[in-house]
Structure 1
Amino acid sequence: MMAAGAFDLSGKRVYVAGHRGMVGSAIVRRLASEGCTVLTATRAELDLQDQRAVREWFAQEKPDAVFLAAAKVGGILANDTYPADFLYDNLMIEANVIEAAHRSDVGKLMFLGSSCIYPKLAPQPIEESALLTGPLEPTNEWYAIAKIAGIKLAQAYRRQHGRDFISAMPTNLYGPGDNFDLNSSHVLPALMRKAHQAKHDGAGEIEIWGTGTPRREFLHVDDLADACVFLMKNYSDDEHVNVGSGSDVTILELTEMVARAVGFDGAIVRNESKPDGTPRKLMSGSKLQSMGWHPAIALEDGIASTYRWFLDHHGEARLTVA
């Protein structure tokens, strides 16, 4: 179900949970032009794993709308090392916020998930209907199960209590505020950090794992934020919505784009003794695009602007998992 202008953010009190993260901060930037009052709370001010504290905060602040972008996140190593933390922490955050939003009669809530919710071998491009049709990728199943629970929780409150709670599933994201730690970052910021270091050190080459042929999809976080506001204003239905760019590139092509942005002109060496991972991971964006939303930031342009942000914030860039 969708109706244009169904939920007007103007004049509303809008809570962005996780406002210091890459996604949350992008949503805060995007909301600046919506004429709403943005509510935020740091972890020191509000522990989202504390049920009583969350309920009291909602009762006091009375938000009209909620973007639930707070989560414990990390790469494969972190997921594999701390499975209990990734499952428990994320379950607590989403359960406390969604229940408090219900108790406080919040007008609309959006839960932010992740493309890792889909089966490891889902048909490409991945449609929303692929959810729960096969086994998950084992390396991040703890995080994925928590995110699936969040989708189902939003659906359950819609069905049982008539709440206008929706879910959006972003693809691989990049942009300002990303994690550039080589031990825990995702592929795009990791490549950027490696290329930057190689240029700084005068190295003649950088190495990538595998053959460079796997294909991956990327979306600038400001495009995601725009899509989230679009959905908050225009979408109201049970099923989650994919948010992606609709196209993908090979890892080698991505590395070449990053090298151009950084100004690294050395060789790109493929270490084929290392694993490639999944051959392709592309989400279908047809559902969202049929509503009239399309991404605005081309990948090459987005990589260039992200590198400028990295240079400007090099001392502040988040180099470890939060």
Structure 2
Amino acid sequence: MNKDSKIYVAGHRGLVGSAIVRNLESKGYTNIIKRTHKELDLTNQEAVRKFFEEERPEYVFLAAAKVGGIHANNTYPADFIYENLMIQNNVIKAAHDFKVKKLLFLGSTCIYPKMAPQPIKEEYLLSGYLEPTNEAYAIAKIAGLKMCQFFKRQYGDNFISCMPTNLYGPNDNFDLNNSHVMPALIRKFHEAKVNNLPYVEVWGTGKPLREFLYVDDMADACVFLMENYDGEEHVNIGTGQEVSIRELAEMIKEVVGFEGELVFNTEKPDGTPRKLTDVTKLHSLGWRHKVELGEGIEKTYKWFVENYK
């Protein structure tokens, strides 16, 4: 990519897309195309094709997606599979038809089997059953990854894919009904502190192990891959480090300054017991994360306090 290359970031207002825009701008890229959902409905094929025909982007970061935590995925599976498949199909096909130079598709490590060996290597994809609570989202993301591979294989399109681990940071979704564990806990602890509540409830046993990547690190890895990687196989993006949900809750409690108790609701689902990415491939390409978990939680909480209403 050149500094004046026409770059379309799909989903530029979300957690992932906004971080990619920040990263591109910090590196001096000046010709970034953005469209809000109101301006361009990516589930509408005709609208997407018209946009690509008029704008002719050279590079595409496909970060737009319908996302959510266990509750949202479990409650609205039809919405998750339909909307994500439509977005992916429309953008990837338009990128092919209008001869985009390169496209990066962003998936998620939830594409891997629930009981995949740990840490999870890229080749473990489709080697076992998926986690039922986010199966719809995972199937959509697998389809997008495969679509990029097949367009590359059949037509020679330079479409690549990456699978980030659990992300957090500025512009995250802090809604308690459909957010991921990190932003949900940040909001719970903050509101408990403000309202002088005696305890905070954490879903599940606290035993599952999770890996967390600060979203600005993820964005840096995405731009790095766009600039340096052309392979057919997808690439994991993560830290290669993990923490239990209990440890995470205790870290957030300390950062927020909540002095009450932690209560674990064991009637709520835990989800996948462990999900750690093998980032050997990413490291071999020359990229490593910079922001450690404690620092990332502090940055995210600061953003939440300053921006969330």
Contact residue 133 and residue 271 of structure 2 kept, 8 A: no
> Residue 11 of structure 2 corresponds to which residue in structure 1?
18
| Shift of residue 204, structure 1, vs aligned partner | 2.7
Contact residue 66 and residue 80 of structure 2 kept, 8 A: yes
> Residue 114 of structure 2 is aligned with which of 102, 120, 132?
120
TM-score, normalized by length of structure 2? 0.96
Contact residue 131 and residue 272 of structure 2 kept, 8 A: no
> What is the distance in 2 between the residues matched to 1:158 and 1:309?
39
> Residue 33 of structure 1 is aligned with which of 20, 26, 30?
26
Q: How does 1:12-161 map to 2 (within 5 A)?
A: 12-36=5-29, 37-161=31-155
> Residue 226 of structure 1 is aligned with which of 207, 220, 233?
220
The letter of the residue matching 1:18 is G
Contact residue 218 and residue 248 of structure 1 kept, 8 A: yes
> Residue 175 of structure 2 corresponds to which residue in structure 1?
181
> What is the distance in 2 between the residues matched to 1:196 and 1:100?
43
Taking only aligned residues, the RMSD between alpha carbons, in angstroms, comes to 1.3
| Matched pairs, number | 308
Contact residue 127 and residue 284 of structure 1 kept, 8 A: yes
Q: Go from structure 1 to structure 2 and tell me whether the alpha carbon gap of 1:48 and 1:272 turns closer, same or farther (over 3 Å shift).
A: closer
> Residue 296 of structure 2 corresponds to which residue in structure 1?
302
> What is the distance in 1 between the residues matched to 2:187 and 2:263?
16
> What is the distance in 1 between the residues matched to 2:110 and 2:297?
23
The letter of the residue matching 2:76 is Y
User: After superposition, what is the alpha-carbon deviation per residue over 1:8-47, rounded to whole angstroms, capped at 9, x for unaligned?
Assistant: 3422010000011110000000010333310011112111
Work out the percentage of aligned pairs sharing the same amino acid: 61
| Shift of residue 252, structure 1, vs aligned partner | 1.3
| Shift of residue 79, structure 1, vs aligned partner | 2.2
The letter of the residue matching 1:244 is G
| Shift of residue 107, structure 1, vs aligned partner | 0.6
Tell me, yes or no, if structure 1 residue 314 matches structure 2 residue 308: yes
Unaligned runs of 5+ residues in structure 1 are 1-7, 316-322
Contact residue 154 and residue 167 of structure 1 kept, 8 A: yes
> Residue 252 of structure 2 is aligned with which of 254, 258, 279?
258
> Residue 156 of structure 2 corresponds to which residue in structure 1?
162
The letter of the residue matching 1:15 is Y
The letter of the residue matching 2:4 is G
Q: Go from structure 1 to structure 2 and tell me whether the alpha carbon gap of 1:50 and 1:75 turns closer, same or farther (over 3 Å shift).
A: same
Q: How does 1:265-276 map to 2 (within 5 A)?
A: 265-276=259-270
User: After superposition, what is the alpha-carbon deviation per residue over 1:93-113, rounded to whole angstroms, capped at 9, x for unaligned?
Assistant: 111101111111111000000
TM-score, normalized by length of structure 1? 0.92
> Residue 236 of structure 1 corresponds to which residue in structure 2?
230
Unaligned runs of 5+ residues in structure 2 are none
Contact residue 60 and residue 100 of structure 2 kept, 8 A: yes
Q: Go from structure 1 to structure 2 and tell me whether the alpha carbon gap of 1:89 and 1:271 turns closer, same or farther (over 3 Å shift).
A: closer
Task: Give the match's secondary structure for 1:242.
Answer: strand
Q: Go from structure 1 to structure 2 and tell me whether the alpha carbon gap of 1:260 and 1:286 turns closer, same or farther (over 3 Å shift).
A: same
| Shift of residue 115, structure 1, vs aligned partner | 1.0
- Which stretch of the first structure deviates more once superposed, 34-43 or 113-122? 34-43
> Residue 217 of structure 1 corresponds to which residue in structure 2?
211
> What is the distance in 1 between the residues matched to 2:160 and 2:33?
19
| Shift of residue 178, structure 1, vs aligned partner | 0.8
> What is the distance in 2 between the residues matched to 1:215 and 1:119?
15
The letter of the residue matching 1:12 is S
Q: Go from structure 1 to structure 2 and tell me whether the alpha carbon gap of 1:204 and 1:84 turns closer, same or farther (over 3 Å shift).
A: closer
The letter of the residue matching 1:147 is K
Contact residue 9 and residue 35 of structure 1 kept, 8 A: no
